[in-house]
Chain A
Amino acid sequence: MATVELKNLRKTYLTEEIIKGISLSIEEHEFVVFVGPSGCGKSTLLRMIAGLEDITSGDLLIDGQRVNDVEPGKRGLAMVFQSYALYPHMNVYKNMEFGLKLSGMPEAERRAKIENVARTLQLEPYLNHKPGQLSGGQRQRVAIGRAIVRNPKVFLFDEPLSNLDAALRGQMRVELSALHRKLGATTIYVTHDQVEAMTMADKIVVLQKGVVEQIGSPLELYHHPRNLFVARFIGSPPMNFFSAIFQGGDAAGSSVQLRDGSTLYVPVTSPGLLPGTKVTVGIRPEHVELASSGPNSGVVEVIERLGAITLVHVRMPDGEIIVVQTDGAVLTDVNSPISLTLPPRNCHLFAPDGLAFEACHRHPLAA
């Protein structure tokens, strides 16, 4: 197993820079997820690590060795592609055998390895099938098997579950996590699905336009987003935002005035910020509480009942919509007036440049 280190990696495609200097180190056994909206460069970055894309500048180190100029097959990596990219003309056994054969492994050893992996992945009945005869989930397993059998230093996954239906995706997610615990292999996983990122990752790297927005554990990103982009990107339904005026702060928190004139005292530090500055307040739908009366009142515009939970879209007097996630059995009707409570400990403040103010207390799960 291995470490991977990216030192100021850059990639220029024609005249456009798509990866704008990314530095990152990945520890042994770590499960790292690259996440971001489409076009953020996450797949390109993975392909640069794989060796399928050139590195324009910067260094890529695997186990401390610079591998910028090493052929993809010699970097000790294995990759699972979004489309699986199985060899359609080879059966399952031969698909898994191909890499081993090229590396010159003796026949008996190959067979033992493949049979072992096939057992783990429940692929034994299909070893003589061609990929075309398999279902999507089975193809997915073969692609994973083909990666495992090579016993790579690092596993690379490029949106591997995006072609599966929702139920299968959930199942494979659990299986992949279990597999990772079992093999303990360093893994880099690209996805646009934040559920996959949150549930599987040891460490999430949020990318946007070729730049790292934040690196951290899933709960760190959830509880302490570094900026507006991460705050908006992580969490579903996304965080609510509204503007406020900064009034002043001390070591225990900062106070802001909301549009309706009420004041909120949020436990975040605000060093050097001038009173009167326009800031953004953010709070997640699951943290807003409903009240029958009080400040912050609005009108219910839409109700989405999902069974276990209910999403209430509230139109505030200034026209903004705030989404509240609440109990599935809540008794509210469209067009009825409603008040919202914003617990200060769950509020986030963002400076005009988009950066979050540092919380006075770290969340215990995101330490």
Chain B
Amino acid sequence: MALKAKTSTRIGVTILGWGIALWLFFPIFWMILTSFKSEVQAISTPPKLFFMPTLSSYAEVFERANYWHFALNTVTVSVAATAIAIALAVPAAYSMAFMPSKRTRGTLLWMLSTRMLPPVGVLVPIYILARNTHLLDTCTGLAIVDMLTNLPIIVWMLYTFFREVPAPILEAGRMDGATRWQEMTMVLLPLALPGIASTALLSLILCWNEAFWSLNLTSSHAAPLTAFIASFSSPEGLFFGKLSAASTLAVAPILVFGWISQKQLVRGLTFGAVK
């Protein structure tokens, strides 16, 4: 009797688990599927699940826009913003975790509060500043802005990771004669590497998907994938095949990257709230 109830519960859980997963994933699946349809197949009613796949949409997308140009911009901006942010955040998080003062908590909360300023509130001045410093429509300019918007969250994540490093290990380093710099580079960083990796991952994802600044601060030269996809949106919205192909191209790298690294990522996302 008990066994039977258990089996039925398990079947229920399996069905529910898969049902919800499929339902949530369906839009992505459908996007990928549609990208392999011809335009006619893409808008057929009722929608077709089985069809002769074609690469014609991809061919057209590549013909119309230089995907590699946008992708390269996205990669450049994401990697640069992440690298600089981590380089700045490591010493800050080290200082907060291992040399706390009365103001540490206040500083951290203030940093996070800067992240809450709606970008649109400062769009005009940032636009004008970028124009005056010739950073408009450059990867450098976009990378700086992305770096600044992500810095508080990166500091916070690293801080929670560093706090998990037992202080005696760093003290042992100090007893062994390590300077602050050696302590940080030779003891702390190797220990916190998994944490730093998942922080970098999150930063890469956030930069990759950042839409507001990339749409407003770039036009052609430095336009990343968010702009690439925007160019396929309004007037030709009804060309579902091309739209899907372009969308798939824009999200595929980060999606695959995210799948591979999700275990790593999740450790960092808990922000110390889960021990």
- A-side residues, CB < 8 A to B, are 50-52, 71-74, 77-79, 81-83, 85-89, 98-99, 102-103, 146, 150
Q: Which residues of A contact B63 (CB under 8 A)?
A: none
Residues from chain B with a CB closer than 8 A to the CB of A85 are 166, 168-169, 171-172
A224 to B153 alpha-carbon distance, docked (Å): 61
Interface-located stretch among B78-86, B117-125, B176-184: B176-184
A52 partner, pick from B174, B182, B187, B191, beta carbons under 8 A: B174
Interface residues of B (CB under 8 A from A): 166, 168-169, 171-178, 182, 186-187, 190-191
CB neighbours of A98 from chain B (8 A): 173, 176, 178, 186
Measured between beta carbons, the chain B residues less than 8 angstroms from A72 are 171, 174-175
Nearest-neighbour CB distance to chain A for B99, whole angstroms, equals 12
Tell me the bound Cα distance from A99 to B178 in angstroms. 8
Complex: how many Å from CA A148 to CA B196?
34
How far is A77 from B191 in the complex, measured between Cα atoms in Å?
Answer: 24
Q: How far is the CA of A89 from the CA of B172 in the complex (A)?
A: 14
Contact check, A79 vs B175: say whether CB atoms are below 8 A apart. yes
| Chain A: minimal CB distance from B67 (Å) | 41
Grouping DSSP codes into helix (H, G, I), strand (E, B) and loop, the A interface class, with mixed when no group exceeds half, is loop
Which listed residue, A73, A82, A86, touches B174 by the CB 8 Å rule? A73
Chain A to chain B contacts (Cβ below 8 Å), 11 pairs: A73-B178, A78-B175, A79-B175, A83-B168, A86-B172, A98-B176, A98-B178, A99-B177, A103-B177, A146-B172, A146-B176
List of A residues within 8 angstroms of B191 by Cβ: 87-89
CA distance A52 to B176 in the complex (A): 12
Q: Which residues of B contact A74 (CB under 8 A)?
A: 177
Complex contacts, A73 vs chain B, CB 8 Å: 174-178
Q: Given contacts A88-B191, A89-B191, are A50 and B166 in contact (CB under 8 A)?
A: no
| List of A residues within 8 angstroms of B166 by Cβ | 83, 85
Q: Is the interface of B mostly helix, strand, loop or mixed?
A: helix
Complexed CA–CA distance, A74 and B177 (Å): 6
Residue in A closest to B170 when the chains form the complex, CB atoms: A85
- Residue pair B178, A81 in contact (C-beta under 8 Å): no
Contact A77:B177 (CB < 8 A) given known A83-B168, A87-B187: no
Please give 8 more A-B residue pairs, beta carbons under 8 A apart, in addition to A71-B177, A72-B174, A78-B175: A50-B171, A73-B178, A85-B166, A87-B191, A98-B173, A98-B186, A99-B176, A102-B177
- The complex places the Cα of A346 from the Cα of B175 at a distance, in Å, of 46
B73 to chain A, nearest CB (A): 36
4 nearest A-B pairs in the assembled complex, by CB-CB distance: A73-B177, A99-B176, A85-B168, A85-B172
List the A side residues contacting B186 at CB < 8 Å: 98
Select A102's contact among B169, B176, B190, beta carbons within 8 Å: B176
Residues of chain B within 8 A of A82, CB atoms compared: 168
B171 CB, nearest partner CB in chain A, Å: 5
Please, which residues of chain B bring their CB within 8 A of the CB of A79?
Answer: 171-172, 175
Assess whether B182 is in contact with A50, with CB atoms less than 8 Å apart: no
A77, B182: Cβ atoms closer than 8 Å: no
Residues of chain A lying within 8 A (CB to CB) of residue B182: 102
Q: For A83, what are the chain B residues with a Cβ–Cβ distance below 8 Å?
A: 166, 168
Whether B174 lies near A71 (C-beta < 8 A) is: yes
- Of B168, B173, B177, chain A has the most CB atoms within 10 Å of the CB of B177
Query: How many Å lie between the Cα of A50 and that of B173 in the bound state?
Result: 12
* Residues in A neighbouring B177, C-beta threshold 8 A: 71, 73-74, 99, 102-103
Q: How far is the CB of A190 from chain B (nearest CB, A)?
A: 13
- List chain A residues, Cβ under 8 A from B175: 50-52, 72-73, 77-79, 99
A254 → chain B, closest Cβ, in Å?
Answer: 50
**Inter-chain contacts of B190 with A (CB < 8 A):** 89
Assembly CA distance A72 to B169 (angstroms): 14
Q: Determine how close the nearest CB of chain A comes to the CB of B104; give it in whole angstroms.
A: 14
- CA–CA, A74 to B174, complex, Å? 9
Residues on A with beta carbons closer than 8 Å to the beta carbon of B176: 73, 98-99, 102, 146, 150
Contact in complex: B174, A81 (CB < 8 Å):
no
Q: For the complex, give the distance between the alpha carbons of A81 and B175 in Å.
A: 11
**A146 contact set on B, CB distance < 8 A:** 172, 176
Q: In angstroms, how far is the closest chain B Cβ from the Cβ of A317?
A: 53
Closest Cβ–Cβ distance, residue A148 to chain B (whole Å) = 13
Asked if B169 and A88 sit within 8 Å, CB to CB, the answer is: yes
Residues of B within 8 A of A52 (CB): 171, 174-175
A185 to chain B, nearest CB (A): 15
Most buried by B among A73, A103, A150: A73
Complex Cα distance, B190 from A59, in Å, reads 37
Chain A residue, CB-CB nearest to B168: A85
Q: Tell me how far the C-beta of A151 lies from the nearest C-beta in chain B, rounded to whole angstroms.
A: 13
Alpha-carbon distance between A51 and B174 when the two chains are bound, in angstroms? 9
* Distance in angstroms between the alpha carbons of A250 and B182 in the assembled complex: 67
Q: How far is the CA of A83 from the CA of B187 in the complex (A)?
A: 16
Residues of B within 8 Å of A71, CB to CB, are 174, 177
Closest partner residue, chain A, to B186 (CB atom): A98
Shortest CB-to-CB span from A187 to chain B, Å, is 15
State A77–B186 Cα separation when bound (angstroms).
20
- In the bound complex, residues from chain A placing their C-beta under 8 Å from that of B173 are 87, 98
CB distance from A120 to the nearest CB of B (A): 20
Q: In whole angstroms, how far apart are the Cα atoms of A72 and B190 in the complex?
A: 22
In the bound complex, residues from chain B placing their C-beta under 8 Å from that of A50 are: 171, 175
Inter-chain CA distance A215–B174, complex, in Å, is 30
Identify which of A74, A78, A87, A88 gathers the most chain B CB atoms within 10 Å of its CB.
A87
Whether B187 pairs with A81 at a CB distance below 8 angstroms is no
Q: For the complex, give the distance between the alpha carbons of A355 and B101 in Å.
A: 42
Measured in the bound complex, the distance between the Cα atoms of B111 and A127 in whole Å is 45
Residue of A nearest to B165 (CB): A88
